[in-house]
Amino acid sequence: MLGETLPPWLLPAWSSLLAKAEAGTLAHAYIVDGARGLGKLAFARRLAATLSCLEPTAQGGCGHCKSCALNASDTHPDVMLLAPKEPGKGLTIDLIRSLGDYAQRSSHAGGARVAVLAEAHTMNINAANALLKTLEEPQQATYLFLVTDQPGLLSPTIRSRCQKISIPRPNESDALAWLQHAATEGIDKQRALECLKAAGGGPLFALELMEGDTLTLRARVDDAFAEVLSGRAQPEDLLAALSALEPIHAAEQLLSAASAQAKRLLLANQDSSESEAAEARAVQAGRVLKLAEECELARRQLASTSNPNPRLVLESLSWLTSRALRQGA
Ligand SMILES: [Zn+2]
């Protein structure tokens, strides 16, 4: 995804971490934070491959040792990637527990062991507590990279036990140069700038918006809806996903995501006997249905000749989604 040469905005973090690795002063755990679409996950994975390589170079893994071969097929027993299995679910305690077991084992290939946690902020309190245990008993040559675009959602205890590496947003010309290089076909500068803006300045996210087909873009709205509704992402994230579609299609997709969510909540109640949980779900379903009504209203507004400002309409829907399940909403 990042290409052979690392993009310029990742270079300072890369050099600093590699210098520490060489000097033997790498910390056991890092939070890699920064806006969405900067390539943080790919960066952390490349770092993991480099740290586990038996003869690393300044660019990354050597590419021909046993470790590099295992990394190339994503089957390295000492390199672990933990990512949420479904949008809205987050990093579960089971995933984090598997990390605890892994940290206790000894290295297979004889090199460093590295675990990368994607979307680390999606851990719930139980998962975070399980992770704390691992963080409190650091093992020799074992490194953790917690990748997140919402570091504020990580618990303060976790933050206090990790070093921080912040990835900056590139300036416009670096971002455009990267897009030019990464796009499969030539780019239209105006469109690239629009996508970059919708993506909040993250070039990889902008590339997805530029090249994504409608189905992917619609699925992205569904994912962002689940994340924002559950409080795991900010309204801006949903707005970015919505902005990639025609406004009317964006409102339609949001309506479909909200209706599906309300239906799931009501269906869960059909085969549940816990009355308290069922009651809570019924309240939630009611709120999500209200949100769906707002989406329908917005869809009609956008289709009408009254000519509303589409961005304001989508902004308001994103905000409503982020508030829908909050207390007193
Ligand atoms: Zn190697």
Assess whether pLDDT exceeds 50 at residue 329.
no
CATH number of 212-323: 1.20.272
d(Cα 204, Cα 29) in Å, to the nearest integer?
Answer: 25
% of the chain beyond a pLDDT of 70: 95
H-run or E-run covering 29: strand 29-33
**Distance from residue 285's CA to the centre of ligand 1 (Å):** 52
Domain residue ranges of the chain, discontinuous segments joined by +: 8-166, 212-323
Please tell me if the domain spanning 8-166 has the same topology as the one spanning 212-323: no
Is the Cβ–Cβ distance between 116 and 91 less than 8 Å?
Answer: no
User: Which residue stretches of the chain are H helix?
Assistant: 11-23, 40-52, 66-72, 93-104, 125-136, 156-160, 172-182, 189-198, 203-211, 214-229, 235-243, 247-270, 275-303, 310-323
Pick one of 1.10.10.10, 3.30.70.20, 3.40.50.300, 3.10.100.10 as the CATH number of 8-166: 3.40.50.300
**Distance from residue 42's CA to the centre of ligand 1 (Å):** 17
**Distance from residue 28's CA to the centre of ligand 1 (Å):** 21
pLDDT score for 87: 66
Eight-class DSSP state of 80: E
**Distance from residue 245's CA to the centre of ligand 1 (Å):** 42
**Distance from residue 208's CA to the centre of ligand 1 (Å):** 30
d(Cα 124, Cα 276) in Å, to the nearest integer?
Answer: 21
Count the neighbouring beta carbons within 10 Å of the beta carbon of residue 252: 20
d(Cα 101, Cα 98) in Å, to the nearest integer?
Answer: 5
What digits encode the pLDDT tens for the residues 172-227?
A: 999 999 999 888 887 888 888 888 887 889 999 889 888 877 778 889 999 999 99
User: Distance of CA 232 to CAs 122, 209, 217, 227, 261, Å?
Assistant: 6, 21, 20, 5, 16
Q: Which residues of 192-203 are buried (b: 16+ CB within 10 A; e: fewer)?
A: bbbbbebbbbbb
**Distance from residue 108's CA to the centre of ligand 1 (Å):** 15
For residue 147 the two structure tokens come to 């990748």
What digits encode the pLDDT tens for the residues 3-24?
A: 778 899 999 999 999 999 999 9
Average pLDDT, the chain: 89
